[in-house]
Amino acid sequence: MAIDLPFIWALILAIGVMMYVLLDGFDLGVGMFTAIAQSEEERNMMTATVEPVWDGNETWLIIGGGGLFAAFPTAYAIIMPAFYLPVLIMLAALIFRGVAFEFRHKAVRRPTRIFWNGAFYGGSFTAAFSQGIMLGGMVQGIHVEGGAFAGGAFDWLTPFTLLTGISVVIGYMLLGACWLVLKTEGELHDKARKWGRMALAGVAICFLAVSFATLSVDASIGDRWGFSMSHIEPARFLPLAPVPLVGMALVVWLWRDLSMKQGAVGTAPDWRPYLLAAGIFASGYVGLGVSLYPFIVPYEISIHEAAARDNALVLMLVGAVIMLPIILAYTAYVYSLFWGKVKPGDGYHAH
């Protein structure tokens, strides 16, 4: 039985993208919440929760982009021209955010610090929104002719992509709030629970809005799910129904956990809200995969049509088998090393 190398590489890329969303998503979310910090001390507490891990989290973005280029060069050659502008905006925002992360601690004068604080949360928002725009652009499809991108420079800018952009922003804010619940105590912890409930309500609304809007994007999606605005095909829908049902159950469970005050009887452990939020993202991610598989350029080119030659995929797979466990082990080690609550004055800029 032949090994389906394109499928294996699609799975590796999917895992890499999901790891990026879950890890860099929370620190982008924390970055956005710094905009409403009540004091510089509170803002420093927020940034201290992500200081040890934020740059390492972006490793997964490199894996996703590099893996797409190497394993699916045809798809890369189509997707990049379709999203040149949002990709450049996202990268600029991430770079500016990284610079602001360091410079905001070096600023002595108040106007300068205000500028770099603004750059930090502005870069966080812009990066998240750009990623949501690109997600929506992928779902709505890319115009391809003769195996090349044949659309316009702003095909990615539609009401649907604006909806997905806002949805990703709110989703990252949910991850950020749950991360703050995990890493903080006292007043900031209580605020994070409140912010988490607000973000969770937004996520639930966006989840429904995007799900129904997606049905109008391409008829094949509704056919895949056996669901449309006018009818339901039980034979198709029921086997897939657990995916959204699990997501909805996790939303209810997370709302319950976030509604409890720290230290109250029956309060969930502080790590559970983030785990539940990750589960909500995972259910949506699985649903996205169900909707789009086997296309890597939606509705135009499948993973098998876009894949590199088998000998190249095998060679890269050997490297991936060696490097991915190392990256996972290093990531786990860093998170375990800095596990626990952040205290006032913590952070590598504090001393």
pLDDT at res. 216:
79
Rounded Cα–Cα distance for residues 177 and 198 (Å): 10
Q: Which residues of the chain are modeled with pLDDT < 70?
A: 1, 229, 262-267, 345-351
For 327-343, the pLDDT digits (tens) are: 899 889 988 888 888 87
pLDDT at res. 264:
60
pLDDT at res. 9:
93
Q: What is the DSSP letter of 141?
A: -
User: By three-state DSSP, how is residue 27 classified?
Assistant: helix
pLDDT at res. 345:
64
Give the helix/strand (H/E) hosting 191.
helix 186-215
pLDDT at res. 126:
95
- Residue 101's CB is within 10 A of a number of other CB atoms, namely 22
User: By three-state DSSP, how is residue 310 classified?
Assistant: helix
Rounded Cα–Cα distance for residues 196 and 277 (Å): 10
pLDDT at res. 281:
93
pLDDT at res. 337:
85
Query: What is the distance between the terminal CA atoms of the chain, rounded to a whole angstrom?
Result: 60
Question: What would you measure as the largest C-alpha separation in the chain, in angstroms?
Answer: 67
User: By three-state DSSP, how is residue 69 classified?
Assistant: helix
Q: Give buried/exposed letters for 30-51 (b at 16+ CB in 10 A, else e).
A: bbbbbeebeeeebbbbbbbbbb
pLDDT at res. 41:
86
Paired strand residues for 148: 145
